[in-house]
Amino acid sequence: MTGRGSGKSPPGRQRPESLMMSWGYRPELSEGAVKPPVFLTSTFAFRSAEEGKAFFAEAYGLAPHDPKRHMGLIYSRLNNPDLEILEDRLNLWDGAEASAVFSSGMAAISTSLLALVPLGGVVLFARPVYGGTDYLLEHLLPDLGMSTREFAAGADAATVDELCRRLAGSGSPCKMIFLETPANPTMTLTDIEAVAEVAHRHDALCVVDNTLLGPLYQQPLGLGADLVVYSATKYLGGHSDLVAGTALGSRELIERVKLYRTILGTMLDPHSAWLLLRSLETAKLRITCARKNAQRVAAWLAQHPRVSRVRFPGLLTDAAQRRIYERQCSGPGALISFELADAGEKEAFRFLNSVRLIKLAVSLGGTESLVEHPATMTHADVPVDEQRAIGITPSLVRLSVGIEHPQDLIDDLDQALACLGDRQAAAAGPPPVNRGV
């Protein structure tokens, strides 16, 4: 007995936050349990040898798949009820035909690129991107016979089109344009719809990493992207207690990605899938609260004399960036990058060592607020001269706002910023760490 769904389309009048409670799960197939059980099994028993043969024939493409029903259960590297229920629910937020879940965000990105970019193909990408993605694109893919070229995040369609034309003229046509928008950590926006049109004009795919805003505030598939990827560790998981990733798009593309996932073994485990199912039930509440907090915190930072610049989609002053935001985003999210005034690495570290409520840690999108130093942490693998070229300076700090009381967060930032002018505190070094019990 399993709790697998039927694969039917969701009711048209019910919204994702309502469907998160039950979609894709049938309690009558799991002893009436209101919540899906954790299917901690590596393999599944066949009712007959003939059934096993049929399941394998479908799994390996030897027989056609009926999209109206689930593939037979074989082995948890191929499929598992918890993963299938999770994928059904993830489809709802982005309006996707299909999705695949992975053991991490980087597993989702790397598996998708390996599945969809042919040997010798060129990946054009907007920079900056997350440090792990940058390393994959700059170092690992070229070692595997795929070329990469970059353009500045926020570049207009004409610039991207000209790059594609040059690549085609050199005999190495672009096969994929990869965007992370807003860019990590500068928060620069790139026009998804315009870039997707350029990609399709050149017979290339457009893939968007939507981790920083999440599906509540940006839906790339509806803007013409072919695939959207997430680090589900972040806002979708939202509790900093699991690592996961997902890719969503058409059934055709996801079937290709899932084939590589099966062979590479980048599948998410059932327990993490179950935790994500739990998290999706409160996703809108958590993300909405964090966004409201971030708007208050960003407005406060923008008027602070020790902050020279705030990078936050809700406080855009550039007209072109503002037009992109109003066209493709429905909210600013909860990630803020800001630069300290008259500061370098030493002053940034003094600030980071002085926060008390906010935790000094990488990652983002959890219930707790996190702060980090991109130049020496998440983007440390990017050469220093390239960091400066893409806007990552020694004074830049990235803050992921959580669901604490916003005034408490402001008070913590205020006392930490005050330490920048306190020489005695600087000489004393960082405050003692409370490691709990």
Tell me how crowded residue 404 is: count the other CB atoms within 10 A of its CB.
Answer: 17
Taking the CA atoms of residue 375, residue 381, residue 384 and residue 385 in that order, the dihedral angle to the nearest 10 degrees is -130
* 3-class secondary structure, 176: strand
> Order of strands across the sheet with 307-311?
307-311, 335-340, 396-400, 370-372, 359-360
Place of tokens 């998410």: 268
The secondary structure of 356-370 as a DSSP string is: SSSEE-S---SSS-E
Catalytic residue among 82, 134, 191, 209: 209
For residue 173, CA distances in Å to 159, 202, 204, 228, 416 come to 16, 8, 9, 22, 50
State phi, psi for 260 to the nearest 5 degrees: -65, -40
Find the helix or strand (DSSP H, E) in which 396 lies.
Answer: strand 396-400
CB-CB contact of 134 with 382 (8 Å)? yes
In 270-405, which residue ranges form alpha helices assigned H by DSSP?
270-280, 283-302, 319-328, 345-352, 384-389
Q: What is the DSSP letter of 38?
A: P
* 3-class secondary structure, 227: strand
What is the rounded CA–CA span in Å between residue 80 and residue 253? 20
Contacts of 42 (CB under 8 A, 6+ apart): 75, 76
Active site residue 25: no
- List, in sequence order, every residue forming a beta bridge with 208; answer none if it has no partner: 179, 228
**Tokens (6 digits) for 212:** 């920083």
Catalytic residue among 4, 234, 261, 398: 234
Q: What is the DSSP letter of 206?
A: E
Q: Given phi > 0 = left and psi -120 to 50 = alpha, else beta, which region is 342?
A: left
Active site residue 203: no
State phi, psi for 140 to the nearest 5 degrees: -80, -45
Active site residue 77: yes
Place of tokens 């899906």: 36
Catalytic residue among 88, 94, 130, 235: 130
CB-CB contact of 394 with 345 (8 Å)? yes
Active site residue 209: yes
Catalytic residue among 35, 77, 278, 309: 77
Question: What are the residue numbers of the active site?
Answer: 77, 130, 209, 234
